[in-house]
C-alpha cells in the first residue's frame, strides 16, 4: 500500500488514506470552529462525517445514525 503524506509515528500505525478504515487514523489537528479534523494520514474529516482525501477526492458524509423516521404512513422500512 502506498502512503501519501507524512510518515506515521503512531503505534499501532494509522491506516493509510486509501484504506477502508482511513478515518480511524489519529487526529493531528482539530478545529472546532470550522468543524474539521486533520488526521495523521492527511485526511481532512468534517463533523458531518464527510472527508477530503490527500489527493483531493471528496468523500460524501456517511452518518452512522439512520435518518429521522418519516412517518407519513407509506414508506416504513424496518431494517
26 lines the binding site for Zn ion (CB under 5 A): yes
- Scanning 21-29, 46-54, 55-63, 67-75 for contacts with Zn ion by CB under 5 A, the matching segment is 21-29
- List beta partners, residue 31: 36
Determine which residue in the list 15, 17, 22, 40 makes contact with Zn ion, applying CB under 5 A: 40
- Scanning 15-23, 30-38, 39-47, 65-73 for contacts with Zn ion by CB under 5 A, the matching segment is 39-47
Minimum distance of Zn ion from residue 76's CB (angstroms): 43
* Distance in Å from the first CA to the final CA of the chain: 35
41-46 contacts: CB < 8 A, separation 24 or more? Answer: 41/3, 41/4, 41/5, 41/8, 41/14, 41/15, 41/16, 41/17, 42/4, 42/5, 42/6, 42/17, 43/17
14 lines the binding site for Zn ion (CB under 5 A): yes
10 lines the binding site for Zn ion (CB under 5 A): yes
Binding interface with Zn ion (CB under 5 A):
8, 10, 14, 26, 40
Amino acid at each position: 500500500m502506498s502512503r501519501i503524506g507524512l510518515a506515521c509515528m503512531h503505534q499501532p500505525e494509522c491506516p493509510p488514506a486509501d484504506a477502508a478504515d482511513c478515518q480511524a487514523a489519529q487526529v493531528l489537528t482539530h478545529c472546532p470552529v470550522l468543524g474539521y479534523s486533520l488526521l495523521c494520514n492527511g485526511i481532512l474529516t468534517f463533523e458531518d462525517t464527510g472527508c477530503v482525501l490527500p489527493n483531493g477526492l471528496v468523500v460524501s458524509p456517511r452518518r452512522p445514525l439512520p435518518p429521522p423516521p418519516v412517518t407519513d404512513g407509506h414508506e416504513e422500512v424496518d431494517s
